[in-house]
Structure 1
Amino acid sequence: MSMERRQLLTGIGGLAATSAAGCLDRITGARQGTTAWYDFTDAQERAFERALEEFNDGRDDPLNAEAPAEMEKELETALPAEQGPETFNWAHDWIGRYHEQEFVYDASDDLEIDLEETYTENALEAVQWEGAVYGLPFAIETVSLMYNPEYVDEPPETLSDMVAIMEEHHDPANNRYGLSMPAVDPYFPSAWLQAFGGSLFDTESEELRIEDDAFVEGVELLEESIWPYVPDDPGYASQIPVFSDGNAPFAINGPWELEGFREAGVDAQVAPLPDVEGGSPTPFTGVKVWYFTSQLESADETALETTIEWAEWYTTNEQAIIDNAEIQGLIPVHQDYAGNEDADLGEDVQTFAETVEMGTPLPTHPKVDQIWDPLESGLERVFNGDESAAQAMESTAQNIRDRWE
């Protein structure tokens, strides 16, 4: 998956200074204590800091927190050099690849918590690989439809209804558009790409599926009904201001952007993705995880205990679960809160939960990591009118298979 969104999220506010200090420590060897790396937006960071302060209160070995500017790149360098964090937060889709790279630690024998009694089945499956437990889950997220009530009275029930509203407001000459969506990063349009039963990859057969008619039909749906209404630059940085500045009736994005849109002055509302004629929107969903890294293989007992206790505490702490839901729109995966109608976590969470029910988990197989960048390039060629959907998926599939070889 494209890293652009997450690089942007970690480069704002006071995070850069924290990252610089952390990098300096790792370079000079001055790093001490138990460390967590994190990747949060401003609103998420404030909630995380409150939780961390509560966890550290009275501890002899407090958990240190750093926000690297480029999480993946720095982990790839730091972990092999045994200069990485003991834990970090990210979506579950790195589990398989990090297992192969030996970047993660199996905490099966260290955990005190009863996993099956605590977390939902899907969340628990997401943090395991070949029987190993490589982290603990704390929430699930996906992208959904957001709308500006200044332009939209009721959210559209069908894609045809949505297209009619986008057409009404689309006026590029005056910097107005029908939709804000990072257009070619496969995560964001995944609901449409997979709307007719298509998929990226068959985990059991380990076969690529993007050339299948069902997937190509999803690309064509994007080409005909979605892409005509977004700005010409499909990148994340260009798309977000369109909605936050009040220049589009709709956005397709995740809960991490909701607070930012509202702070910018747009009364952003969340709605389920609209129905598709002849299909069903099927977005990717991601389980948010505190990973256990290979740093724990050689860690002393204190660092191991602190890391395990943090993951168990954060993923079961009521206030952390509520903050994640109310502030960030993240859906709980703790069994006491997931699907519990008596747990009033707000309308945003309920709506995102409806969209999650439509979705499918991000695949974790290591081979999938080689799909994202070529697929994004292929989608961009269709977006720019350089190739048909079928042509682009055929050439993209060959590119991916060459990488696998």
Structure 2
Amino acid sequence: MKNLLLALITALLLSLALAQTITIHTHFQDESLNWLQQETARFEAAFGVDVEIVFVPVGAIVQNMLLNAPVGQGPDLIVPVPHDQLGALAEAGVLASMDQYATAVYLGDLTAQSRLAFTFAGRLFGLPMYVEGPALYVNRDLVPEGPNSFDEFLAIAREHTTAHTFGFLQPQASDAFYFGYVWLRGFGGYVFGRDADGNLNPNDIGLSTEGAVRGAEFIQRLRHEYSLIPSGVDYSVMHGQFLNGTAAMINNGPWAAPDYLAAGINFEVMPIPGIDGGSPFSGFMGVQGIVMNEFSTNKVNAVNLAKWLIRTDAQVSLATFGGRIPASISASQRISDDPIIAGFAAALADAEPMPNIPEMARVWAPMETALSLILADPYADIGAILNDAVREIRGN
């Protein structure tokens, strides 16, 4: 009897110890992983709770959660997850709502886009950490000043399109829609509209509207009228040309900045100037944040860790370590003297959070095909091509 009681007590203590351990799945590497390890170590010291960090590639992190969370084998937290994956996770029932844990002070310190990005069906399903998206990189050795207007942007791009340099590059052979959306949106197109409650409406598709057609016409003109963006330019070509100092301007995201800094490129990040003094062009914004497993048996500790990782000091240090653009307004203000972060903050100020509903998965391939056809033929019927793409997105 005594042995049985001892065994039960031992099992209980072991289960309590295991429950105290918070498991994180992360796709972070290098400096960002170092940051996460340092912050979790501070949390462990402050709260007396162990944290286990497990690396999972970004391409597998969502599927892993979908498969393992319902059977009790998923992580307590994902740190972080791209917000465009939120809809699939929320619809599957594997995410815990964060509404009850997000204070008014915390929500008030977030940019409006980051709050919107982690809201699905009217509920907050994650705590935003940082934002990302394309902006204009300008090589200051080739372009000492400007562009300060849209006309100047085009003039500089054409001036530096020579036998040895490229004036302006953005991917066209692949990733055409992600990077080209800046023009579609800038001229009035949109992916999905919103209903009266602010929820994305997958039946309201704005990729063949008059504004979208004008944006696609401009993309076509970039190649065939302005002689910019030659055929075959994909992301690696664009990145390589700027890395080599042979591209004057490119449209790229903050993830590329460390490579350019390491290569000694003298560059500035800024918004693409708007037409006739209007609002700057801006396209998609990605937001990455922390989500919690609905099936976690350790929610109290997991929430405390999530809040620890998104506090202002932590976001400032993440920006310093990994060059991430904070979702926190107060954190952004504290590092506003960093020219790269300030440049992206300005460029993304009016950017559109990439739709987080599952229907977005049906958009990419038809729009990639549509833009490829439009770029290939200066006489292409743009309206007809976009109408075909929208019909395919709808499944008709």
Do residues 116 (structure 1) and 111 (structure 2) align?
no
Alignment partner, residue 390 of structure 1: 383
Percent identity (aligned): 23
Q: Does the CA contact (< 8 Å) of 1:273 and 1:355 recur in 2?
A: yes
Q: Does the CA contact (< 8 Å) of 2:158 and 2:167 recur in 1?
A: yes
Q: Does the CA contact (< 8 Å) of 2:66 and 2:92 recur in 1?
A: no
Matches of 2:88 and 2:81 in 1, distance apart? 13
Q: Deviations over 1:340-390 (max 9, x none)?
A: 4x6545122222222122322222233233212321222122233394432
Alignment partner, residue 21 of structure 1: none
Deviates more, 1:329-338 or 1:130-139: 329-338
Deviation at 1:131, TM superposition (A): 4.2
1:110 and 1:186, CA in 2 relative to 1: closer, same or farther beyond 3 A? same
Deviates more, 1:269-278 or 1:149-158: 269-278
Q: Does the CA contact (< 8 Å) of 1:258 and 1:328 recur in 2?
A: no
Q: TM-score, normalised to structure 1's length?
A: 0.78
Matches of 1:398 and 1:252 in 2, distance apart? 29
Letter of the structure 1 residue corresponding to residue 374 of structure 2: V
Matches of 1:267 and 1:160 in 2, distance apart? 23
Q: Does the CA contact (< 8 Å) of 1:147 and 1:268 recur in 2?
A: yes
Q: Does the CA contact (< 8 Å) of 1:326 and 1:349 recur in 2?
A: no
Q: Does the CA contact (< 8 Å) of 1:326 and 1:346 recur in 2?
A: no
* Structure 2 residue ranges without an equivalent (≥5): 1-19, 196-200
Letter of the structure 1 residue corresponding to residue 239 of structure 2: I
Letter of the structure 2 residue corresponding to residue 186 of structure 1: F
Do residues 194 (structure 1) and 182 (structure 2) align?
no
Query: What pairs with 1:82-93 in structure 2 (closer than 5 Å)?
Result: 83-88=73-78, 89-93=80-84
1:336 and 1:91, CA in 2 relative to 1: closer, same or farther beyond 3 A? same
Letter of the structure 2 residue corresponding to residue 64 of structure 1: I
Q: Deviations over 1:68-122 (max 9, x none)?
A: 1623555555556654433221332232332223232224445678543553444
Deviates more, 1:84-93 or 1:132-141: 84-93
Greater gyration radius: 2
Alignment partner, residue 16 of structure 2: none
Matches of 2:134 and 2:93 in 1, distance apart? 30
Deviation at 1:266, TM superposition (A): 1.4
Find the partner of 1:133 among 121, 124, 135.
124
Do residues 371 (structure 1) and 334 (structure 2) align?
no
* RMSD of equivalent CA atoms: 3.0
Deviates more, 1:327-336 or 1:265-274: 327-336
Q: Does the CA contact (< 8 Å) of 1:181 and 1:230 recur in 2?
A: yes
Q: TM-score, normalised to structure 2's length?
A: 0.80
Q: Deviations over 1:176-225 (max 9, x none)?
A: 42234233442322221111222112122531111111111111111212
Find the partner of 2:171 among 182, 187, 190.
182
Query: What pairs with 1:4-403 in structure 2 (closer than 5 Å)?
Result: 34-40=22-28, 42-57=30-45, 59-68=48-57, 70-71=59-60, 72=62, 74-75=64-65, 77-79=67-69, 83-88=73-78, 89-109=80-100, 115-171=106-162, 174=164, 176-183=165-172, 184-204=175-195, 206-225=203-222, 228-277=227-276, 280=279, 281-293=281-293, 296-297=294-295, 299-301=296-298, 304-318=299-313, 320-338=314-332, 340=333, 344-385=336-377, 387-402=380-395
Deviation at 1:226, TM superposition (A): 6.2
Matches of 1:274 and 1:335 in 2, distance apart? 23
1:274 and 1:336, CA in 2 relative to 1: closer, same or farther beyond 3 A? closer
1:85 and 1:223, CA in 2 relative to 1: closer, same or farther beyond 3 A? farther
Matches of 2:99 and 2:24 in 1, distance apart? 20
Deviates more, 1:218-227 or 1:252-261: 218-227
Q: Does the CA contact (< 8 Å) of 1:148 and 1:248 recur in 2?
A: yes
Deviation at 1:125, TM superposition (A): 3.4
* Structure 1 residue ranges without an equivalent (≥5): 1-31
Deviation at 1:249, TM superposition (A): 0.9
Deviation at 1:156, TM superposition (A): 0.8
1:323 and 1:269, CA in 2 relative to 1: closer, same or farther beyond 3 A? farther
Runs of 4+ in 1 over 6 A off after TM superposition: none
Matches of 1:35 and 1:378 in 2, distance apart? 43
1:374 and 1:117, CA in 2 relative to 1: closer, same or farther beyond 3 A? same
